[in-house]
């Protein structure tokens, strides 16, 4: 017996006992059901000679994948008892072709199921010397030939009883489902002619059996092709949702003047037919199409629709046509956990949001930083890089050494609605969609009673599908249970299928048991509930025993009651974010003005450094003159209150109004986490420090870069500066709750491990935010909790192999060092020694970690140089080792320096390029050199610092309102430089004032925050979003406590 820990490493023994052990009650029923399936006989039992000939021809074709002949021989048994199409020959134009389609569909069902046992069998046979042939290819041929004549089990000496039982079950379902389709077609031809105009004499030339998901004992959708060229979609499930939507679309068009398009439907008892809708090129009418898409999105939002991705909506010249509507009026997730879910929690809100529908670009991203993504949203684009889903590939195919490999695959190409678009075109389409969405939303908001009336009419007699777990998760579970070991014995087969209880751990036992039964027969679990009811059933009407608290209709009616301008703004924010997230916004000047915008390239799109020395010198001189004129003009405008950014004249009052507006927004959009005992959170794009990585909306986690600590820290700062108790209370809901959880030890160690230890992406960053917030509002409880939790960070660091620890500031040791240095407390000294030791050991002579290939602060040399320079005086031991490492880091920076450009390359691994920000560019270099210069006083270091500062001043402003790679971060670095140098001649203070009066005025902030094209306006991220703007404003308004997300410091008393 294999230990449960092998199958369920995510669970401890108590959880296994509570979640897994009770499912054993299903084992006997499942095994009995699978073993009772009637075994197929040989296809020679066919009476019809034409059918036998068709099968012979099919079996005689050359293999297109390994072991195909073996799989096809087994599949031939699907027609053993009787030809399933025989009694219905008149239905088909060519019964032989229809039979081949039937066989092909069954083959596709068995292929994945049989592959791994066949691979195991041939390798076992080879190892035992049971195969004949002089080469691997000949021995493969011998295995296949004998397996076809007898069985692969007999050839290999292995036995797979579960595989035999499951195969009989799957093939039995295939035969029954084909017969069911034929019977229904014969009975429905007159009605089909009435609704769709396809005459009864128009014979079927293709059954169009789908390779898609099988539900309810192997049933799946078919696209029927007729001799006339007509096509029709047969759905072997209830189509009341499609019928209800078609009727609703007509009523909505009449009532609100919309142009919703719907496919005609023929509803039968438990199944139905839907018009086949062909995709069309809509590029010529893209603006009208996007407005229509906005209208559709609004109606689907009001209907609480889910799963409306690119396969379920078709682009046509009459507008977007939804073709699979079983998931409208979707209920909330069934939950029966011990801890009550918070009403109106963020997870429910995100699922019921515009993004949750699936019509917007819907990105699925891999976990690793370098992972690619796929976009399954209806209006989404092509994926990029490797798909987050892995695929099985056969290595050394057609040999007796064939083996399996699990590997990443490139994101598959998909049909997109708009095709390749420029940035301008993409923004424009998003704006047109927003028009359509807003028009319908406001029309319903103005007449809520009319909408509720339409909703009740539409929901009458409708059954909706409930998606409990994602299809991809069910598919993964089935693949795990297709291994040779699982198909050899029922114990591992059932144990692996029971892993579904991990995803359903807070669901009713009856529901999980139903999932298990359906998976065991190789179905994707399928559940339905009446729109006006609460009882959950399987697809065939079998009660599960589980019930919802409220009906799907009740939820939709409640949503209609909650409609508001605030909610509309939030949905539009998600909409605009979906269309802007791929495009950095690096222009603070007004459109059409000739302001002193730097001529440097976008820091996220660094230009090539391949240029001549003379051209470099010329550009450098020109920039110096331009920058000088800009600073002079800025000082002049500051004195006269004139110029293109006249909003600077508002001064502190304007900044305070902006801060108040941002904090009010954070307060209004704060939501409970899933459970009421957890800190509050927000919904927003998951901004990433990695260039090119998508920003899908999520429930914000605990990371400093883009998580809930950002808006909570902004609220704490706003509450202090504005003396606003409501903002302080909202911050306390996050940080006070966090402090209590840490102090009481009521956290899950698994959750801490999942969060990681890093400064910007893990636990140490959360502790820094908790400490900083405590300093802002004067809470010793918060600062003490942060300090006492430092050992938790160290524990996570120690769990990693020292040679695998990242060193950088964002996700590595440098960021942790900065956080611990800022937090201080009783554990800090020992922690600093340990962390500095790990970092310097990784930097010892002879080692060249990846971080040394980049110059910036976020991921490279400058960030490590800066923090070690600040830490070295605090160390109680190891100072000399750190000093030696600092000298090597400083020397390393020389490898990046271009004397003609008077600048540092961003990296050495690719084409030479420059950047301006803290993360990858010169501003970060200036920060690192400043910290090292302040430590050593070395004249050479100070000269290089001066060069970096001059370059940053020439190129580092006029970009964007972010800390990570924009003006806020560079502004903070300029402030840090003033602190480090003392600014004896006042030049840096003068530069700081010029930046604030030119690029960081209230008018600039208002304009960029209201810009729907700017991705930074749509995220609450601290480093690249609105909470970072709020913190910047608070720092300027009240320098008494200055919090820097760039240096990860909390300072007092700077002026």
Binding-site residue numbers for Zn(2+) are 919, 964-965
CA 295, chain centre distance (Å): 25
Cα separation, 15 vs 12, in Å, equals 5
Site of tokens 């606003």: 724
- Which are the contacts of 762, defined by CB distance < 8 A and separation ≥ 6? 703, 755, 756, 793, 796, 811
Query: DSSP for 170-205?
Result: HHHHHHHHHHHHHHHHHHHHHHHHHHH---TTS-EE
- As annotated, the binding site includes 919, 964-965
Of 266, 249, 267, nearest to 258 by C-alpha is 249
8 A C-beta contact, residue 132 and residue 180: no
Here the tokens at position 950 are 């001059």
Using an 8 Å Cβ cutoff, are 376 and 364 in contact? yes
467: closest CA among 365, 356, 346?
356
The DSSP code sequence of 998-1036 is: HTSSHHHHHHHHT-TT-GGGS---TTTSHHHHHHHHHHH
Query: For residue 742, what are its two tokens?
Result: 């840490």
**C-alpha to C-alpha distance for 1053 and 722, rounded to whole angstroms:** 18
Rounded CA separation 107/65 (Å):
12
Measured distance between the N- and C-terminal CA atoms of the chain, rounded to whole angstroms: 70
Ramachandran class of 337: left when φ > 0, alpha when ψ lies in -120 to 50, beta otherwise: beta
Backbone dihedral angles phi then psi of residue 222, each to the nearest 5 degrees? -130, 140
Q: Is 269 exposed, middle or buried (0-12, 13-18, 19+ CB in 10 A)?
A: exposed
CA distance 440 to 959: 36
Nearest to 363 by CA among 343, 348, 353, 377: 377
Of 447, 416, 426, the closest CA to residue 302 belongs to 447
Q: Are 391 and 113 spatial neighbours (Cβ–Cβ below 8 Å)?
A: no
Beta bridge partners of 1052: 1041
Count of CB atoms within 10 A of residue 781's CB? 15
Measure the CA–CA gap between 645 and 761, rounded to whole angstroms: 36
Distance CA 440, CA 430 (A): 16
Both structure tokens of 983 = 């600014």
Element (H, E) at 305: none
Tokens of 180: 């069911």
* Alpha-helix residue ranges (DSSP H) falling in 23-151: 27-35, 49-59, 68-75, 95-127, 136-149
* Gap between the Cα atoms of 342 and 672, Å rounded: 6
Give the C-alpha separation, 456 to 466, whole Å.
19
Strand partners, 608: 913
Burial class (CB in 10 A: 0-12, 13-18, 19+), 323: buried
**3-class DSSP state for residue 964?**
coil
Beta-strand runs (E) in 856-910? 897-898, 903-904
Q: What is the CA radius of gyration of the chain?
A: 32
535-538 and 543-547 as β-strands: parallel, antiparallel, unpaired?
antiparallel
H-helix or E-strand containing 1052?
A: strand 1049-1052
């Amino acid at each position: 017996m294999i230990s449960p820990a092998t199958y369920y490493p995510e669970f401890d023994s108590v959880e296994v006992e509570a979640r897994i052990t009770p499912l054993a009650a299903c084992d006997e029923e499942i095994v009995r059901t699978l073993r009772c399936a009637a075994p197929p006989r040989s296809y020679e039992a066919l009476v019809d000679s034409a059918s036998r000939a068709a099968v012979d021809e099919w079996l005689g074709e050359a293999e297109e994948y390994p072991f195909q002949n073996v799989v096809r021989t087994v599949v031939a048994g699907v027609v053993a008892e009787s030809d399933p199409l025989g009694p219905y020959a008149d239905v088909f134009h060519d019964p032989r072709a229809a039979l081949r389609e039937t066989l092909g569909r069954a083959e596709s069902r068995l292929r994945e199921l049989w592959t791994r046992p066949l691979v195991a069998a041939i390798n076992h046979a080879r190892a035992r010397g049971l195969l004949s042939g002089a080469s691997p290819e000949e021995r493969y041929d011998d295995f296949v030939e004998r397996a076809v004549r007898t069985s692969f089990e007999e050839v290999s000496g292995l036995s797979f009883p579960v595989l035999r039982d499951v195969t009989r079950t799957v093939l039995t379902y295939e035969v029954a489902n084909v017969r069911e389709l034929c019977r229904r077609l014969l009975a429905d031809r007159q009605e089909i002619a009435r609704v769709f105009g396809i005459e009864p004499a128009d014979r079927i030339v293709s059954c169009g059996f789908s390779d898609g998901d099988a539900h309810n004992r192997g049933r799946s959708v078919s696209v029927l092709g007729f001799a006339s060229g007509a096509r029709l979609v047969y759905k072997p499930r209830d189509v009341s949702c499609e019928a209800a939507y078609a009727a609703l679309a007509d009523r909505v068009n009449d009532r609100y003047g919309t142009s919703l398009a719907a496919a005609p439907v023929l509803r039968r008892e438990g199944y139905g037919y839907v018009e086949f809708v062909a995709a069309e090129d809509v590029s010529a009418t893209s603006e009208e199409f996007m407005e229509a898409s906005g209208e559709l999105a609004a109606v689907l939002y009001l209907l609480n629709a889910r799963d409306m991705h690119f396969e379920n909506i078709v682009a046509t010249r009459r507008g977007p046509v939804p073709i699979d509507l079983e998931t409208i009026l979707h209920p909330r997730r069934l939950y029966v956990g011990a801890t009550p879910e918070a009403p109106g929690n963020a997870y429910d809100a995100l699922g019921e949001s515009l993004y949750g529908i699936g019509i917007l670009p819907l990105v699925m991203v891999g976990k690793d930083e370098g992972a690619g993504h796929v976009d399954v949203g209806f209006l989404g684009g092509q994926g990029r890089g490797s798909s987050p889903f892995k695929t099985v590939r056969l290595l050394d195919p057609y040999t007796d050494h064939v083996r399996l490999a699990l590997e990443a695959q490139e994101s598959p190409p998909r049909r997109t609605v708009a095709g390749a678009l420029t940035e301008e075109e993409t923004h424009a389409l998003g704006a047109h969609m927003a028009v359509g969405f807003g028009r319908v939303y406001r029309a319903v908001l103005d007449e809520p009673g009319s909408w509720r009336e339409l909703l009740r009419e539409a929901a009458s007699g409708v059954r909706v599908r409930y998606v409990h777990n994602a299809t991809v998760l069910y598919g993964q579970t089935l693949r795990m249970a297709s291994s040779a070991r699982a198909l050899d014995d029922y114990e591992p087969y059932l144990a692996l299928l029971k892993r579904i209880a991990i995803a359903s751990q807070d669901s009713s036992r009856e529901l999980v048991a139903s999932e298990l039964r359906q998976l065991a027969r190789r179905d994707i679990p399928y559940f339905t509930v009446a729109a006006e009811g609460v009882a959950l059933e399987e697809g065939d009407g079998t009660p599960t025993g589980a019930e919802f608290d409220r009906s799907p209709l009740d939820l939709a009616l409640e949503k209609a009651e909650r409609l508001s301008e605030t909610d509309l703004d939030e949905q539009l924010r998600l909409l605009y974010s979906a269309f802007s997230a791929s495009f950095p916004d690096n222009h603070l000047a007004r459109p059409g003005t000739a302001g002193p915008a730097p001529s440097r390239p976008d820091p996220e799109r660094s230009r090539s450094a391949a240029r001549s020395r003379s051209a470099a010198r010329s550009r450098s001189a020109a920039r110096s003159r331009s920058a000088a004129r800009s600073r002079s003009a800025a000082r002049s405008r500051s004195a006269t209150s004139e110029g293109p950014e006249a909003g600077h004249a508002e001064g502190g009052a304007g900044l305070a109004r902006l801060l108040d507006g941002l904090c009010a927004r954070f307060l209004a959009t704060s939501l409970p986490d899933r459970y009421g005992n957890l800190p509050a959170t927000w919904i927003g794009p998951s901004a990433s420090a990695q260039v090119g990585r998508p920003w899908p909306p999520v429930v914000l986690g605990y990371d400093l870069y883009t998580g809930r600590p950002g808006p909570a820290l902004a609220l704490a700062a706003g509450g202090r500066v504005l003396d606003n108790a409501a903002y302080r209370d909202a911050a306390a809901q996050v940080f006070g709750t966090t402090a209590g959880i840490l102090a009481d030890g009521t956290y899950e160690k698994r959750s801490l491990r999942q969060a990681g230890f890093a400064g910007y992406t893990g636990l140490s960053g959360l502790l820094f935010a908790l400490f900083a917030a405590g300093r802002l509002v004067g809470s010793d409880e918060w600062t003490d909790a942060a300090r006492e939790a430092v050992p938790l960070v160290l524990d996570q660091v120690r769990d990693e192999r020292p040679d695998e620890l990242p060193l950088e500031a964002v996700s590595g040791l440098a960021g942790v060092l900065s956080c611990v240095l800022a937090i201080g407390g009783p554990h800090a000294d020992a922690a600093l020694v340990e962390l500095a030791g790990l970092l310097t050991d990784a930097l010892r002579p002879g080692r060249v970690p990846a971080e040394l290939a980049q110059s910036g602060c976020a991921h490279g040399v400058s960030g490590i140089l800066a923090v070690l320079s600040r830490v070295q005086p605090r160390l109680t031991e190891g100072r000399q080792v750190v000093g030696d490492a600092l000298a090597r880091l400083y020397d390393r920076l020389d490898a990046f320096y271009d004397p003609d450009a008077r600048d540092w390359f961003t990296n050495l691994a690719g084409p030479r390029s420059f950047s301006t920000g803290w993360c990858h560019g010169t501003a970060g270099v200036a920060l690192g050199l400043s910290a090292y210069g302040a430590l050593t006083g070395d004249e050479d270091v100070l000269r290089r610092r001066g060069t970096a500062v001059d370059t940053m001043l020439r190129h580092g402003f006029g970009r964007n309102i972010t800390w990570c790679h924009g003006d806020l971060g560079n502004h903070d670095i300029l402030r840090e430089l003033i602190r480090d140098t003392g600014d004896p001649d006042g030049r840096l203070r003068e530069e700081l004032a010029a930046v604030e009066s030119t690029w960081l005025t209230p008018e600039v902030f208002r304009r960029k925050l209201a810009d729907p094209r700017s991705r930074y306006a749509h995220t609450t991220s601290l480093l690249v979003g609105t909470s970072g703007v709020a913190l910047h404003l608070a720092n300027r308004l009240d320098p008494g406590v200055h919090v820097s997300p760039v240096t990860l410091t909390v300072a007092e008393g700077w002026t």
